């Protein structure tokens, strides 16, 4: 059965009245590249003024909450750091608050400064990542460089523009030689959208480590419930009065469905109308559909 498509002011108002917490994907919902979706700033200001909680939930593993907040505020969206929740921060929360990662162990990072910043926030020791010794690798290969550090207790893979053979080999050596070392991926997104097209994403970059180690990774980011566990551990809201808003069926909408939270699909992003209302619709069905998140701005006009 096709989900309801919200069109009228009354439908928008009923939905808003039933929600205390809005979980918002960013690219495709809040903005398209460098351009804010029309009406979104008005909607965010209106929701905050009404006492609604707004949480920006993104799979971007390169940005810390601070950097995500800066990105949103360069677009004049009035974000606070408490409203920002990326997969890098979720991974740090999961390690510290769900797994109780030992203080004397290190994380080997396949990722960038944003992930390292979030690990630092929780006092989690780490190596790899932006370390020039690993980042600036050039052949020939020196195999002795791949001897594992016995203090490493986890390998965390995020998007890494500096991915190279040395990082992959080091990550594999930790996972191969110690079954107690945990493999975590911030997300498995095969691509990421930018500048009107898509390029290889975090999942595509780390698949070599997953395949070589023959390990089943713990995936934190959307659509996995681990991400919601981390969000709830930090924000503690009522899931029955929350709404996940996104433009991607396979990440945002499945994230909400996997977490037993209502979902609102926004068109105009990666999902096409025929995937919902066509002859062969997707098996992933949102609870509600709206043309644009900016459409809620009609509620700000009381005339």
User: DSSP secondary structure string, 122-166?
Assistant: TT-EEEETT-HHHHT--SSP-GGGGPPPTTEEEEEE---TT--HH
Q: Is 144 annotated as a binding residue?
A: no
Residue 156: pLDDT band by 50, 70, 90 thresholds? very high
> Does residue 303 carry a pLDDT above 50?
no
Per CATH, the number for 9-59+223-300 is 3.40.50.1000
> Does residue 34 carry a pLDDT above 90?
no
Active site residues: 25, 27
Assessment of whether the complete model's pTM goes beyond 0.75:
yes
Structure confidence by residue, pLDDT tens digits, 64-108: 999 999 999 999 999 999 999 999 999 999 899 889 999 999 999
- What residues contact residue 192 under an 8 Å CB cut-off, 6+ apart? 60, 159, 198, 199, 200, 201, 202
pLDDT at residue 302 in the model: 57
Arithmetic mean of pLDDT over the chain: 93
Question: Of 196 and 270, which is predicted with more confidence?
Answer: 270
Q: Lowest mean pLDDT of 46-50, 144-148, 222-226, name the range.
A: 144-148
Residue 191: pLDDT band by 50, 70, 90 thresholds? confident
Q: Is 222 annotated as a binding residue?
A: yes
Any idea of the CA torsion for 27, 29, 34, 35, to the nearest 10 degrees? 170
> Does residue 234 carry a pLDDT above 90?
no
Strand 125-128: give its sheet, edge to edge: 125-128, 106-110, 152-157, 182-185, 218-219
pLDDT at residue 300 in the model: 87
pLDDT at residue 32 in the model: 87
Structure confidence by residue, pLDDT tens digits, 170-189: 999 999 989 999 999 999 98
Domain 100-219: which CATH number of 1.10.490.10, 3.40.50.1000, 2.40.110.10, 3.40.50.1370: 3.40.50.1000
Structure confidence by residue, pLDDT tens digits, 109-144: 999 999 999 999 999 999 999 999 999 999 998 888
pLDDT at residue 216 in the model: 94
Q: Lowest mean pLDDT of 30-44, 100-114, 191-205, name the range.
A: 191-205
Nearest alpha-carbon partner for 246 in 27, 18, 13: 27
Residue ranges of the chain assigned to CATH 3.40.50.1000:
9-59+223-300, 100-219
């Amino acid at each position: 059965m096709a989900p309801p498509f919200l069109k009228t002011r009354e439908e928008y108002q009923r939905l808003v009245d039933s929600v205390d917490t809005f979980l918002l994907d960013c690219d495709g919902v809040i903005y398209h590249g460098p351009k804010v979706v029309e009406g979104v700033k008005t909607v965010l200001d209106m929701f905050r003024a009404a006492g609604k909680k707004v949480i920006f939930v993104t799979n971007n593993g390169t940005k810390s909450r601070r950097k995500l907040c800066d990105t949103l505020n360069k677009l004049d969206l009035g974000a606070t750091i408490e409203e920002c929740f990326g997969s890098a921060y979720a991974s740090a929360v999961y390690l510290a608050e769900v797994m109780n990662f030992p203080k004397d162990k290190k994380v080997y990072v396949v990722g960038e400064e944003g992930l390292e910043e979030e690990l630092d926030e929780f006092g989690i020791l780490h190596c790899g990542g932006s370390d020039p010794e690993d980042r600036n690798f050039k052949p020939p290969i020196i195999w002795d460089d791949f001897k594992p550090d016995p203090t490493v207790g986890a390998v965390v893979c995020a998007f890494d523009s500096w991915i190279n053979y040395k990082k992959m080999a080091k990550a594999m050596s930790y996972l191969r030689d110690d079954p107690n070392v945990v493999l975590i991926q911030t997300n498995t997104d095969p691509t990421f959208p930018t500048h009107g097209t898509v390029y290889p994403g975090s999942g595509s970059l780390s698949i070599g480590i997953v395949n070589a180690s023959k390990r089943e990774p713990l995936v934190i980011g959307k659509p996995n419930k681990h991400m919601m566990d981390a969000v709830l551990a930090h924000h503690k809201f009522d899931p029955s009065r929350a709404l996940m808003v996104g433009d991607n069926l396979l990440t945002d909408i499945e994230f909400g469905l996997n977490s037993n939270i209502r979902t609102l699909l926004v068109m105009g992003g990666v999902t096409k109308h025929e995937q919902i209302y066509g002859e062969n619709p997707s098996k992933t069905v949102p609870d509600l559909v709206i043309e644009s998140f900016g459409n809620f701005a009609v509620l700000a006009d009381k005339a």
